[in-house]
Amino acid sequence: MALEARFFLAAVFAVAATCLCLSAVASAFAVPSVAFDEGYSPLFGDDNLVRSSDDKSVRLLLDRRSGSGFISSDYYLHGFFSASIKLPKAYTAGVVVAFYGRQQGEPHGLFGLSSPKRLRRLHPRINLSNGDVYEKTHDELDFEFLGSRWGGQWRVQTNVYGNGSTARGREERYLLPFDPTLEAHRYSVLWAPTHIIFYIDDTPIREVIRHPGMGGDFPSKPMAVYATIWDGSTWATDGGKYKVNYKYAPFASEFSDLALLGCRADPVLRAPRDGGGAGCAEPDLLGLLTADYAVMTPRKRAAMRAFRARHMTYTVCYDAVRYAAGPFPECDVSDVEKESFSAWGESKNVVMKARGRGRRRGRKAGGAGAMSRLDVSSS
């Protein structure tokens, strides 16, 4: 299935309150998009957050002074969250861009607001979260984009955390099958009571089906939607070996087609913000569960498996070192598939092919050393 040239931002639904009024259709699943001022507010970065004249797109910049980010104006419970994203070009080692959902509480990793130093992390990211409300038991869903040095390529990491389970971790990492710096691609998250699906364009890349054994590890509390860029020099590229080089700043990530499909919820009461009633018709819970983006057809599942076989570099489901007690209950493990992964959960085939491409790129560029191979190291 061909991938569209769009980027997805993570957003969250709340079932049973007044829905946001959206307009302007964003493609892939024909979901409506929202102007920045209708659904979002600046989070940090001041002048490093640049809105377009029509308010339909945003540029997030990272320079020596600060990173930048924005947050949804409301919290949501379940839904479909999306954005088109174009990532920074050239040398981007240490840069992190993120799109994510999260509860209230202390901001996590990618855009951490606790100190000016953390605000400079270069790491584009989009996510759902509620850490500001539930500081020690927050939920979170992430797309994290990890920059590379010369001769490398951007990697994307997806995270699923529930009830403060970040120490256990449910990360996966992938190489992108296109250059995300040439044009925008769409990144989306479907968060339903029963399952979670991550999309790149219209191709599902990860599905997490809720299992009784997960307990509170499955996100279940209202979250806000965040998008950030920050300096992740301590870990993002080759375990922190390669840092952000501000000679190439400012690093700019572009966000458009912002989609917030869902109903607003009170993050503390975990209830519809507007008192419930019949105001949540598009989408209501039934509409969410039956929408195209929530249903995994045989064709979509086959596309997901093909993507993962070709581009996934790491999965927690085959990491026998970090998880010696066995895989998480929701993992769909296969003895045959397991043979292609190392004990650390890294794909033998994808990593080897990527390193081969990196060496060829390095030779064409006439470089050596840091330019001689593709960066496929885990973060």
129 inside domain: yes
Rounded to whole angstroms, how far apart are CA atoms 289 and 302? 20
119 inside domain: yes
Name the residue range of residue 54's domain: 23-296
Active site residues: 140, 144
183 inside domain: yes
- Please state the pTM of the whole predicted model: 0.80
Whether the ω angle into residue 283 lies within 30 degrees of 0, i.e. cis, is yes
**Which of these, 31, 122, 39, 96, lies nearest to 73 by C-alpha position?**
39
Q: Could you count the other beta carbons within 10 Å of the beta carbon of residue 120?
A: 21
pLDDT in tens, 248-263: 999 999 999 999 987 6
∠ CA(289), CA(40), CA(18), 5° rounding?
45
Rounded to whole angstroms, how far apart are CA atoms 227 and 232? 15
Rounded to whole angstroms, how far apart are CA atoms 107 and 121? 13
User: Position of tokens 């993002």?
Assistant: 236
Answer whether 166's CB lies under 8 Å from 78's CB: no
Instruction: Give me the tens of pLDDT residue by residue for the chain, a chain 379 residues long.
Output: 443 333 333 333 322 222 333 233 345 578 899 999 999 999 999 899 999 999 999 999 999 999 999 999 989 888 899 999 999 998 898 898 988 776 554 333 332 222 223 333 345 555 565 656 556 678 999 999 988 888 678 899 999 999 887 778 899 999 999 999 999 999 999 999 999 999 999 999 999 999 999 999 999 888 999 999 999 888 778 778 889 999 999 999 999 999 998 767 877 766 666 544 333 444 467 888 889 999 999 999 999 999 999 999 999 999 999 999 999 999 999 888 899 999 999 999 886 666 555 555 544 443 332 222 223 333 3
What order do you get walking across the sheet with 49-51 strand by strand?
49-51, 57-62, 251-261, 79-86, 185-191, 195-200, 203-209
205 inside domain: yes
* φ and ψ of 59, to 5 deg: -110, 130
372 inside domain: no
Rounded to whole angstroms, how far apart are CA atoms 259 and 76? 13
Rounded to whole angstroms, how far apart are CA atoms 119 and 109? 10
Answer whether 5's CB lies under 8 Å from 28's CB: no
Sequence-distant (6+) residues with CB within 8 A of 163 are: 137, 138, 139, 215, 216, 217, 220
pLDDT in tens, 158-193: 999 998 877 788 999 999 999 999 999 999 999 999
345 inside domain: no
Sequence-distant (6+) residues with CB within 8 A of 86 are: 7, 180, 181, 182, 183, 184, 185, 253, 254
**Which of these, 242, 125, 238, lies nearest to 189 by C-alpha position?**
125
| CATH number of domain containing 80 | 2.60.120.200
Q: Is 265 exposed, middle or buried (0-12, 13-18, 19+ CB in 10 A)?
A: buried
92 inside domain: yes
pLDDT in tens, 307-338: 999 999 999 999 999 999 999 999 999 888 89
Answer whether 116's CB lies under 8 Å from 217's CB: no
218 inside domain: yes
Domains: count for the chain: 1
